[in-house]
Amino acid sequence: MVTTPAIVVAAPSSGSGKTTITTGLIGALRAAGHRVAPFKVGPDYIDPGYHAVAAGRPGRNLDPNLVGEDLIAPLFAHGAAGADIAVVEGVMGLFDGRITDAPGTGAGGSDQLGLGSTAHVATILGAPVVLVVDGSGHSQSLAAVLHGFLSYDASVQIAGVILNRVGSPRHELVLRQACDRVGLPVFGVVRRDPSLAVPSRHLGLIPAAERTEEAVAAVDAMTGHLGAALDLPAIVAAARRRAVADAQPWSPAAAVSPGASATPGGEGADAHPAGVPARPVVAVAGGAAFTFGYAEHTEMLTAAGADVVTFDPLTDRLPEHAAGVVIGGGFPEEHAEELSANTGLRADLRAHAAAGRPIHAECAGLLYLAAQLDGHPMSEVLELTGHFGPTLTLGYRDAVAVADSVLFRAGERITGHEFHRSTVAVAPDVEATPAWAWRDAAGHATTHGIVTASVHASYLHVHPAAVPEALHRFVSRAREVETDAGARGMPRAGRSPDGRE
What would the CATH number be for the domain defined by 6-239?
3.40.50.300
Q: What is the pLDDT of residues 81-101, one digit of tens each?
A: 999 999 999 999 999 999 765
Q: Please tell me the predicted confidence (pLDDT) of residue 275.
A: 58
- Between CA 16 and CA 19 the distance in angstroms is 9
Mean pLDDT of 7-31: 96
Per-residue model confidence as pLDDT tens digits over 191-224: 988 777 665 544 455 666 665 677 788 899 999 9
**Measured between alpha carbons, how far is 136 from 230 in angstroms, rounded to an integer?**
18
pLDDT-derived band at 420 (thresholds 50, 70, 90) equals confident
pLDDT tens, position by position, 277-308: 679 999 999 999 999 999 999 999 999 999 99
Letter for the amino acid at 24?
G
The predicted structure's pLDDT at residue 263: 37
| Strand 322-327 with 359-362, pairing | parallel
On whether the pTM is more than 0.85, the answer is yes
In the sheet where 158-166 sits, what is the strand order?
60-62, 36-41, 85-89, 6-10, 129-134, 158-166, 186-191
Fold of the domain spanning 252-487: Rossmann fold (3.40.50)
Beta-carbon contacts of 172 under 8 Å, excluding residues fewer than 6 positions away, are: 135, 163, 166, 189
On the question of a common fold for 6-239 and 252-487, the answer reads: yes
CA distance 163 to 172: 8
Q: E strands of 83-157, at which residues?
A: 85-89, 129-134
Is 363 in the active site? yes
| Cβ–Cβ < 8 Å for 314, 289 | yes
pLDDT band at 103 (very low <50, low <70, confident <90, very high): very low
**CA–CA gap between residue 424 and residue 446 (Å, rounded):** 15
Residue tagged active-site, from 92, 301, 363, 367 = 363
Could you tell me the residue ranges of all domains in the chain?
Answer: 6-239, 252-487
